[in-house]
Amino acid sequence: MRHPTNTRIIFADSEKEAREKYLAMGIETKDPHPVLECFKVDELEDFDMSADFNFVGEISVSPEVMETIRQDPTRAYVLYYMEETGAK
């Protein structure tokens, strides 16, 4: 079963740039083949910029994360790895 890990907020002008910035961080994973999820918050239908919490893909973002997103919401991307856990 896959679970989200290593969530980061990246400010970028495109999804490609956001993914490149995330990958450049060199985040280590336990799963040798994690899936990188990427969401542009201002394109999410149910995302409420004024709310304390929001759901983004498989995760919920906290008030602290929302504060970061509000710094530049039109360039904010939420990225995380989906990693395989448990027995294979």
| Overall domain count for the chain | 1
Distance, in Å, from the CA atom of 19 to the CA atom of 80, rounded to the nearest integer, reads 10
Across 1-88, the runs of DSSP E, i.e. the strands, are 2-11, 35-40, 54-56, 59-61, 76-84
Task: Tell me what pLDDT residue 87 has.
Answer: 44
In tens, the pLDDT along 1-43 reads 899 999 999 999 999 999 999 999 999 999 999 999 999 999 9
Name the residue range of residue 45's domain: 2-84
Residue % of the chain over a pLDDT of 70 = 97
Q: Find all residues with CB under 8 Å of 48, minimum gap 6, and list them.
A: 54
DSSP letter assigned to residue 62? -
